[in-house]
Every structure is written in structure tokens, then in C-alpha cells.
Amino acid sequence: MKTVKNSQVEMIELVLPNDTNILGNLLGGRLMHWIDISAALSAARHCNTVAVTAAVDNLNFHKPILLGNIVRLKASVNRAFNTSMEVGVRVEIESIRTGEIIHSNSAYMTFVSIDMETRKTMKVPEIIPETEDEKRRYEQALMRRKQRLSETHGIIQS
């Protein structure tokens, strides 16, 4: 068993011209790439092996991220299941000029632990939420999982 703290990852990225569209906003695909990398690192820290993306929940872009902004990505495992785990990523924008930090968006992703030799899924360690916030995210992860599974089964049965 591990704690949420064991899985925490914080990445910092600077939005450069090559990262932006013609309006000077961060490309959505580049942000999705950074989110995926931070979440994969968090999942790997939790299970001490390779973890691959199995699903991405809704990803909404609430605020534009501009050229020159600092992007802070904070990822941690919310809950571990059998061979999968939900990772939450919080994206924050930091202004270099003012130091102001605002929440841009959040993403929830499902990762599966993979055995490097057999390339098959493997069991992941349980996670112990310690703080009230971790306990809330732990419970919400189960609700999101049930929703994902019901949607998947609904598609299969249709």
C-alpha cells in the first residue's frame, strides 16, 4: 500500500512560441501532451512500473494559456483499482510578470500498470488517502469509474 503523496508529480513548463497557435495561445494538443506525461509519471511512481493511458475523461479548456505563461501541472493518483488507477491532474497558469496563479483546468485519466517483460497488465498497489481532500478525491474516483464502466457497457450492449 502507498499514500497519495508517493505518487505526486509537479511539472513546470514555459509556453514558448513553438507551443502556440496564431493567436499566441497554447495549443490544446500540447497541453494534452503535458497532462498525459505528468499523469503517466504519477501512475508510474505509484506502481513502480510502466503505466499506459487507458482513458481520458472530459478535458475542457476554461482559460486560454498565453505565450510566456508558466504552466504548472500537479498530478497524483486518486484511487487504485485492480490493474488500473485514476490519476487527477490540476493545471495552473502562472504569470511571470505578476506571479498570479490561476486554475486553468483539471483532467482525470485512467492508467493501466504494465509488466515490462510480458507486456501484460499487472496488479497495482492499494492507495491510502490521508487528508480530507485526498479522501474526497478517492470517493469521487469510484463514482467516475462506475460512470465510465456504465457508459462502456452501454456502448457494447447497443
Q: Which residue has the cell 498497489?
A: 125
pLDDT band for 18, please (50, 70, 90 cuts). very high
Query: Which pLDDT score is estimated for 156?
Result: 45
Phi (first) and psi of residue 63, to 5 degrees: -135, 140
Task: Report domain 2-157's class.
Answer: alpha beta
Per-residue pLDDT tens digits for 79-109 = 999 999 999 999 999 998 899 999 999 999 9
Residue 120: predicted pLDDT: 94
DSSP reduced 3-state for 32: helix
pLDDT for position 57: 87
pLDDT at 73: 98
- For the chain, the domains span 2-157
Per-residue confidence (pLDDT) for residue 154, from 0 to 100: 57
Does residue 23 register a pLDDT over 70?
yes
Interatomic CA distance for residues 19 and 17, integer angstroms: 5
pLDDT tens track for 113-148: 999 999 999 999 999 999 999 999 999 999 999 888
Residue 27 is classified by DSSP as P
Tell me what the pLDDT averaged over the chain comes to: 92
pLDDT score of 158: 36
Per-residue pLDDT of 25-74, as tens digits, reads 999 999 999 999 999 999 999 999 999 999 998 787 888 999 999 999 99
